[in-house]
Each structure stands twice: as structure tokens, then as C-alpha cells.
Amino acid sequence: DIVMTQSPDSLAVSLGERATINCKSSQSVLFSSNNKDYLAWYQQKPGQPPKLLIYWTSIRASGVPDRFSGSGSGTDFTLTISSLQAEDVAVYYCLQYYSAPNTFGQGTKLEIK
């Protein structure tokens, strides 16, 4: 199974500042036939299901603000929030959907400093 490891486990950032969350996979999640990394990012607020933010490493899902961006390749990936807003307080998860079982990172809790 592919193990996904996020860092840090928690993060406190001031409003308007940049937040960066990292995700590392134990194996490549690159699908060679289309050269896409099968890596997604989710936001989960208390009492709610996860919400898809980013798929294929860097493509924002419909309706996701452009302050959210994804980058990386191979085994190292990053979610960046360029200017933190109060509504971005949540737990963020990466997911590899390259192979079964799909696996999530352990989550990163993002708070306001």
C-alpha cells in the first residue's frame, strides 16, 4: 500500500499570510500513460464531510478560490493557501488515487495565529 505522510501535523498562520502543507508518498503516484500524478487535496471543517479542493496535483475543483494551489510531482506534493482567510480554518488531507487501496495522509490542522 502507498503510505501518505503529511507535514506538519498542525499549523498556525496569521490572516493574510501564506500557508503551506506538504504531502509525501511512499511510491510514485504518476500514471505514465497520461503523465498525471493522481494526488488530490481535501478540506474538512468540523461536522462536515471533506470537500475536494485540488485534483491531479494542481487543478482546482469547481468553485474553489484561486488562493488555493497545488504543486509537486512524483512523490512530493504541496498545498498552498496564498492569503489565509478565516474560513480556511480546517483540517486538510491529501489522497493518492493512483492505486487501491486509495490512501489519505494523516491530516494537517490549520488554525489562525
Partner 1 sequence: DVQLVESGGGLVQPGGSLRLSCVASGFTFATYTMNWVRQAPGKGLEWISYISGSRDPDTVYYVDSVKGRFTISRDNAKNSLYLQMNSLRAEDTAVYYCARRSKIPGLVDYGIDVWGQGTTVTVSS
Binding site for partner 1 (CB under 8 A): 36, 38, 40, 42, 44, 48-52, 55-56, 61, 91, 93, 95, 97, 100-107
Place of cell 478540506: 43
List residues bridging with 22 in a β-sheet. 7, 78
Q: How far is the CB of 13 from partner 1 (least distance, A)?
A: 21
- Spatial distance between the Cα atoms of 57 and 68, rounded to a whole number of angstroms: 12
Residue number with CB closer to partner 1 (51 or 67): 51
Q: How far is the CB of 105 from partner 1 (least distance, A)?
A: 8
Which amino acid is it at 109?
K
Residue number with CB closer to partner 1 (75 or 103): 103
